[in-house]
Structure 1
Amino acid sequence: MAEATFSSLSSSSLKSSLQQTPPGNPVFVAFDDKYRCVVCNGIVREAVQTPCGHRACEQCIFQLLHGNPKKVKCPAGEETCSFLVLSEIHRDSGARREVRLLLVFCTFKTEGCEKILPWKDLQDHEIMCTYRLVECRFSSEGCKVVVIKRDVEIHQKQCPFRLESCKFCQQEIQNQLVQEHLEKTCPQYVIQCTYNCGTNPAPRVQMEQHSKECPRRPLKCKYHSIGCEFTGSEEEMEMHTRSETDSHIQLSVVRNTENALEVLHSREVTQTMDVKITELEHLLTKNLQVIEDLKGGVDTMKKAMKDIKLKVVAQTERLITVERKVENLADNEAHNKLSRDMMMIKETQNTLEGRINQLERAGPMGGSNGINGTLPAQIQQHERQLGIMDLRMAELDLRFQVMETASYNGVLMWKIRDYLRRKEDARTGKTISLYSQPFYTGRFGYKMCARVYLNGDGVGKGTHLSLFFVVQRGEYDALLPWPFKQKVTLMLLDQENGTRNLVDSFRPDITSSSFKRPTSEMNVASGCPLFHFQTLPVYKDRQNLSDIAW
């Protein structure tokens, strides 16, 4: 009872505290101990008074008493202090009002503000204080300087990051980068020819074009590709070509010799590669022949395994038939005869199973005795058949998992994972539609599933998500009324906050073949080809979309 009372007191006081003690930890002009909390020894906030007359912060008292199984004595530690009882602790409105009126220094006193004012007015003063620290308005350009508000305009006029328009190209450049801009990048800044050809100075954009055609621009020797490193003007290049003819001929001879050696080396490598290719072709031909032989052995093994499985199935069916007959016969003699027959059949089945196990244990090097005495030497490939059997077992395991997760209350919760990848597969035609796991209206009810076209179907192709309901052939269809008449509701669930679910429902058309008793594995799907318009903002803002739930 005491704990509930304290929670109520704390809750009501906490709501009013936003209008009581101001925020922050200011520097007080004078601080009287009567405003000191007996628990935290700081300024009392949302003052409450103990039965012994001491003051404390409401939050401090809450933390002191909350969840403490023992009695707590007033922290003041005086002889007159008593144990604290929540029902005897009251709000001290007078102290709260006095604390709000305590004089404090401005928060920016260290910056030069000499203002002294009541604590309750401090927050409003801080907003208007001219000594408040502010960032330069060019901080987005890289300025890290923080100045007081009254000096910010002076700083911004001198800030090296302030933007200025180039007087040549009118582009806005940081003040500290103006000179660099003029010297390196400004397209309209007037410069001289780099090669000092005597052309009149011109804007950089024109001079760059001139440099490509300047008669004094340095040219590489036309024999540079074979080793000549000479560069010079057109006139110098002509003189070089005439004077260095012998040198160029010598470089050409050396390069031709090198090319000849490289050609010889390439021929040797090519011959070696031809030999290796011939060897690989021979090996490939040999491997292809081995593969053909192995395929023949696999086919033979498949046939043998199929015969064994057929025999096992036949014996099992005979055993089941005999057991049913035994249950219905009352004559002891017939019963005993059938029991003996059943035992013989069981022994035959056990023998077959033992032989199959023997073949499996024999592995690829096993013998050829027993019922497989006629199998060819390729019995060594039996391990591959065991792998196929493992795959079939995996398929059966998957079917059991589907059966275990099946719903029998008429509701299917279908979550499609990797939505974006599956949507792309549907768009490219790789996987046009998806089927859900089956679900049922009851343990012996209708069998159904859902079919979805993530890129739409029919009139909704490319623009909508199409969702359909499918009636499947079930084991108890003969016991159910047809056609299917139950109401079908389709819902696309919003996985963020559940406020934007998409819902559509319909009643089956009893004349449609989609809702008659199935004669094949499943009926033609029926539903909503325009169920969900692809550009609706249901999931538009979800950048990490991977699943969609129904």
Structure 2
Amino acid sequence: MNNGCGVQTIRQALEEHLKGCEYRIVVCTYCGEDVIFNQKQEHESIQCRKFPIPCPNGCGHENLPRDEMREHVELTCPKKPIHCKFANVGCEFTGSREDVKTHEKESIDHHLQLTTVYTASIDLQSMEIRREIQDISASRDNYKRTVDQCLREVATVKDGLEVSKMNVKDLKLKAVALTERVIHLERRVEDLARKDTVEKQGRDIQTLRDGQTNISDRVTQIERNGGGGGIGNVVNQVQNHERQIGLMDVRLAELDLRLQIHETASFNGVLMWKIRDYARRKQEAINGRTLSLYSQPFYTSQFGYKMCARVYLNGDGMGKGTHMSLFFVVMRGDFDGLLRWPFQQKVIMMLLDQEAGTRHLSDTFRPDPNSNSFRKPQTEMNIASGCPLFVSHTVLETRTYLQDDTIFIKIEVDTNGINPP
């Protein structure tokens, strides 16, 4: 059977059973909805919207439909309970309209007392509010004085900032001038004489020194023999030789320094960069004195691409303060007009393991041909490209990578596919 009836019967007796089954469907007398027979009474007493019920206020309406009773109680019932007019000052009486009118006539003294107490409470609250307003006004005045002082300090800082900007501008101009001098020296180094020329000049100087010794011996011999007329000429010759030797010594020192710089450059696409005094240089980066360091130039071949590395020991961009940032820089070389552009060679950047030699940290990239970093340089060097988050300070500053306050950086450029000019 449906609706929860568990009785089983034969088909011939089913119709007779349905007439008296407690789970049969019947129509509600009041609302016309279908309900189960044994739930009809519950439906009428709780759910039926049209079931007649008496007014809970006892106004005499006994047969209002349930769905109309709420409106009657709230709007039209003559015995609807209402509050006393003095409820806002503390009176708690409620009742019908007639009861409330009677209560108001009989409780004038009580209402007057409640009004007095309420007024006193309002006055007390008003005093407290006035005190709070006075405190707020005093705080506002203090804040205003503080803000005025801050504004004056900001104006002072702004003036100082403008001066600092001018100083920074001057420093940048000086840095540019210094950079141009360094670049000029680099160009001169590339055009220096080879080592055999320096050695030849050294031999010339040694010859001059030997000549000076011979002349000195001759002067001594002349003085010993008492000769006077030729001594002045010999002394002049010695002084001339000494001046020439001094000039040659200065020139030789300059050539030797340039030759050392030239000899450190590699021509196989590999840069081995040793950075000493790591702690001091990092602190200078933190203080803003020297934010980055450039390596010496290196080349893919004697007539190939010119490159260098740039490192920010205290990080740059996203890595500032937490990482060491490492970048690769394409520089302007003497043979760029014979090379293929943009620069397309694979680059490997490494921080070398100084302990076991097996845990090098590396990053590899292939240049983006659309990036300005790898076009043919129009200035001394292109924009650097690399890794702002190359290695964190917590990893770098361990014995594996930092020993004797020194780190080693290696850059390898794939030279395969470069057609020599």
Structure 2 length-normalised TM: 0.43
State the structure with more CA Rg: 2
Structure 1 length-normalised TM: 0.34
